[in-house]
Amino acid sequence: MSRVTVQPQRGLALPNGRVQPWISGTFHYWRSDPQLWSDILSNIKAMGFDMVETYIPWGVHEIERGRFEFGEKEPRKNLEKFIQSAHQADLKLVVRPGPHINAELTYFGYPPRIVYDPGIVAGEASGALSVHDAAPKAFGNLSYASAKLYSETALWFDALAPILRRNLHPEGPIVALQVDNETGYYFRPAAYLMDYNPDSIRWYRTFLGKRYGTVQALNDVYGSRYSSFGEINPPRFFAAEALGGLPYYLDWGRYKEWQINESLRIIGGMWRERGVDGIPFFQNFYGPTDSPYNANEAEQGAYGLDVVGLDDYQRKEVFRATARKAAYLAGSSRLPLIPEFGSGCWSLPLWENTMTLEDQRFTTPLLFMFGLKAVNYYMLVERDRWMGSPLTADNRIRHAYFDFYRHWNAFLRKTGFHEWDLRSDLLILANYDTERLLKALKAVEGHPVHFLPDELGFAESPSLFKYRLEEEHPRWAGNQWDYALKRHLPLRCSDTAASFGKLQGHKAVWVVTFEMMGNKAQENLRRFAEEGGTVILGPLAPSLDEHARPFSCFDELRSPDVNDTPNPLPQGARETGLKPFLAPSPSRGEGRGEGEGGFTTKTEARIGKGKVILLSKWSEPTVEKALQEAGIRPVMDSLPGELLATGFTHGGKEFFFFANPTGRTVEFTPGRKLLPLYTGNDAKQSTDSLSLHPWSVTVWEAAL
C-alpha cells in the first residue's frame, strides 16, 4: 500500500490528498539529552518546519554483532521515543538508516568491526586495502559489491525494520527513507583508486556480460580475444595509446556508475523485503554530477529510487556553482532536492567553506531561485563537530539564525512556492560522455582535504586528440554557463544521460560537444530537433559513438566536400603535434570502419521540423544570434549583467527572483511594475527603481 508518493516538482503526496512541501531540517536524537527532545522539536516547529530528519546510526545502536540497544539502558538511544516525540510535535519524519551515514562519526556510522574487515573493505589498484584517512582515526573504505557487507547489513535491518514499520505514515510520522548516504566511494571517485575487492571484480564481469551479452560482442569492440568474461580484469591505470583502446577504460567507469546504482537497488530491496515500503526512497550524492555519479540513471529503470538529490555546502562567493546545481536538479530530478544543505558546517581543519549567517541568507533563496523545490537543512540543532546552527545542543536559540529560517519558511508557505513553475525555455546539458572520458583519462585525482589543482591530474602527453580536452571542455562549459547567467536566460540544466522526456517542453537544448557522444544521447537530440526544437552543439559536431567508432546523428551539418578537411579545432586549442582520429562520412547510424577522412561543417541545418546549430568558435554575438533564432529571450530585458534573474509562473501570475552576487549595491529600473514578496533583510524598496543590497536575493510579483 502506498502511504506517501512523490508529486513531481511539488513535494510529497499524502494519503489524504494533500501535498506536503519537503522542507525539513536535521536533528540527531542520539547526540542530545532526551529530556530536551520535545522542547527542541517544538522550536523546530516554531521556525516554520513541518518535517524533521535524522540519521539512525548502526554503529551507535549495535552493542555487539547481532545485539542492539534501542533505549533499554541508554535513553539517548530510544529511537521509538524520539519518533513518537516528533509525531506528538506534529512533525513528519525523514529517516536515514544507512548502512553508511557519515555524520562526522568516527567510523561514518558503521560498527568498527565492519570497517576493519578485509573481506568488506574495497581494494585499491595497487592491491592494498583502501583506507579513509579521516580524523580522528583512519578506517577502511567499504566495497559496495561485498557480499559480506550485505549479509552484515541484514542484521541491522532486521533489528530496525519493526520499529520503522509501525511508525510509517499515517499511523506514524515517517514519510521518506534514504536508501544509503553519499554512496560514491567515500569521496574518492577517481577512476583507478578503487574498487578492486574480489567481489567487485566479479560484479565488473557481470556488468560486462549485461552490457555486451556475449564475449564475442565485447571482443568486437575491444579488439580482444577473450574466451569468457571471467578472463577480463579491470584496468588499474590508463594506458591507451589510440582511440580504439578507449572502450576498455570507459567501461570501467561505466561499471562504477552501475555498481553505485546496483548497490542502492539491493539496499532498497532489503527494506521492501522487511515490509518497510509505501514511502519514497531517496538518495543523496555528495555533490558532483559527473561519473561515477549518474543521477539521471538512478531515477530511471529498476533501481527503485524515487528521488536523487545532491548535497551542497558552499560559501556565497561560489554562487555560480550553487545556481548550476539547483538548475541541474530542476532539470533532472522528479523532485529537485538537496538532502543536505549547510545550516552551519562541520568543524574540520583546513575546511575552507566555513559558512556564516550571511552565506545562508544568500545561498538558501538562491537555490529556490534556480528551481529547487525540496531541501533538508543540515543541521538545525548543533552538536559535536558542528557549528553555526539556529539551535544549540542544549536548546538555546540563536535568534538571528532562527529568525532567518522562520522568515524564509513563512514566505514559502504563504506564497505556496512549491506550486510555482520555473520558466525554462532553454535546457543546458552537461556532456556526460565527455566528462566520463575525462575521468578515464585522468591519471591522478585530487583529495577533499589535501588539495591538488585539477590540471595536475592529467598527463601532458600523449593526447588522443589534437587539443587538450581537459582544458577545452571546462573552458567551453564555463563560458556557456557564465553567458546564460549574464543574459538572464530562462533555463534548466541536466546532462546527456537524461531521458528524451526531460528534453521535451523546451525550445532549445544546448550542449558543449566534441567528437565523442553516445548513440542514445545523439539520437535523443536528433529526435528533439525532428519534433521542432533547436539543438545547439559545438565546438565540434559529434562524429564518434561511446566506443570511439564513427557515428553521427547530424550528417546534415556535413558540407559537400566530405573528404577534404576535418572538423575545425576549438578556438584556442593547443596543438600537440599528434594526428587526430577523423571519422569517415557514412550515412547516419552506419559506419564501423577505421578509415580516415574528414568533413567541413555547416553552421546550421534543418532536421525535421527543427534545426541544429553548430557553434564552432566561441563568439557572444554568434551565441546570441543562435539563441534568438531559437526563441530564447531573457527573463526580463535590460537587467544589469552582474545581477541574476529567474522567472516563475503560477495561476496566471508572474514572479521574479533577483539576486545581487556582488559586494556593492546595484540599482536598476525593471521596466514593469513589481510588488515585493520577499526582500530578506533589505530595506523597503521602490517598485519603480530597485536597489538591491550586496549579497541579497529578493522576490517580486508582476502587477497585473
- The model's pLDDT over 77-88, given as tens digits with 9 standing for 90+, comes to 999 999 999 999
The set of cell numbers assigned to 566 is: 576535418
Quickly tell me which residue has 563537530 as its cell.
385
If DSSP codes are grouped into helix, strand and coil, which group holds residue 252? helix
Helix axes 246-273, 147-165, angle to 10 degrees: 30
Q: CA angle at residue 47 from 336 to 354, to 5 degrees?
A: 65
Q: CA angle at residue 574 from 569 to 578, to 5 degrees?
A: 80
φ, ψ at 597 (rounded to 5°):
160, 165
The set of cell numbers assigned to 465 is: 586528440
Quickly tell me which residue has 556526460 as its cell.
432
What local confidence, expressed as pLDDT, does residue 296 receive? 94
What local confidence, expressed as pLDDT, does residue 136 receive? 79
**Which tens digits make up the pLDDT trace of 85-109?**
999 999 999 999 999 999 999 999 9
Helix axes 399-415, 357-369, angle to 10 degrees: 10
Cβ contacts of 341 within 8 Å, gap of 6 or more: 311, 312, 313, 364, 367, 375, 376, 377, 378
What local confidence, expressed as pLDDT, does residue 349 receive? 52
CA dist., res. 150 & res. 156, Å (int): 10
Residue 37 near residue 391, CB atoms below 8 Å: no
User: Which residues make up the CATH 2.60.40.1180 domain(s) of the chain?
Assistant: 644-702
- Measured CA distances, 126 to 123, 241, 251, 410, 455 (Å): 8, 22, 20, 54, 23
Cβ contacts of 139 within 8 Å, gap of 6 or more: 106, 107, 108, 112, 115, 116, 131, 132
What local confidence, expressed as pLDDT, does residue 674 receive? 94
Q: Is the four-CA dihedral 566, 571, 576, 577 of positive or negative sign?
A: positive
Beta strands, E only, 305-383: 307-310, 337-342, 345-346, 374-378
CA dist., res. 577 & res. 304, Å (int): 48
Cβ contacts of 646 within 8 Å, gap of 6 or more: 369, 370, 371, 422, 423, 488, 490, 635, 656, 657
Question: How many CA atoms lie within 13 Å of 573's alpha carbon, on the beta-carbon side?
Answer: 26
Cα 293 from chain centroid? 7
CA dist., res. 294 & res. 256, Å (int): 10
What local confidence, expressed as pLDDT, does residue 60 receive? 98
Residue 9 near residue 360, CB atoms below 8 Å: no
What local confidence, expressed as pLDDT, does residue 601 receive? 72
Which stretches of the chain drop beneath a pLDDT of 50? 562-598, 683
- Measured CA distances, 438 to 120, 219, 237, 453, 574 (Å): 29, 24, 13, 15, 17
For 94-131, b where at least 16 C-beta lie within 10 A, e where not — what string?
Answer: bbbbbbbbbbbbebbbbbeebbebeebbbbbbeeebbb
Residue 343 near residue 377, CB atoms below 8 Å: yes
Cβ contacts of 602 within 8 Å, gap of 6 or more: 556, 557, 558, 559, 614
Cβ contacts of 406 within 8 Å, gap of 6 or more: 46, 47, 48
Residue 285 near residue 427, CB atoms below 8 Å: no
φ, ψ at 131 (rounded to 5°):
-115, 135
Q: Is the four-CA dihedral 376, 382, 386, 390 of positive or negative sign?
A: positive
Residue 296 near residue 181, CB atoms below 8 Å: no
* Domain 5-110+144-185+257-418 = CATH 3.20.20.80: yes
Amino acid at the residue 219: N
Helix, strand, coil percentages, rounded to 5, for the chain: 35, 20, 45
| Omega within 30 of 0 (cis) for the link into 292 | yes
- Would residue 11 be called left, alpha or beta, if left means φ above 0 and alpha means ψ between -120 and 50 degrees? left
Which of 428, 432, 636 lies closest to 534, judged by CA? 428
Residue 296 near residue 498, CB atoms below 8 Å: yes
User: Which residues make up the CATH 3.20.20.80 domain(s) of the chain?
Assistant: 5-110+144-185+257-418
Residue 332 near residue 323, CB atoms below 8 Å: no
Which of 580, 288, 245 lies closest to 435, judged by CA? 288
Q: DSSP letter at 75? A: G
Q: In 10 A of CB 663, how many CB atoms?
A: 8
What's the CATH number for 644-702?
2.60.40.1180
φ, ψ at 609 (rounded to 5°):
-85, -10
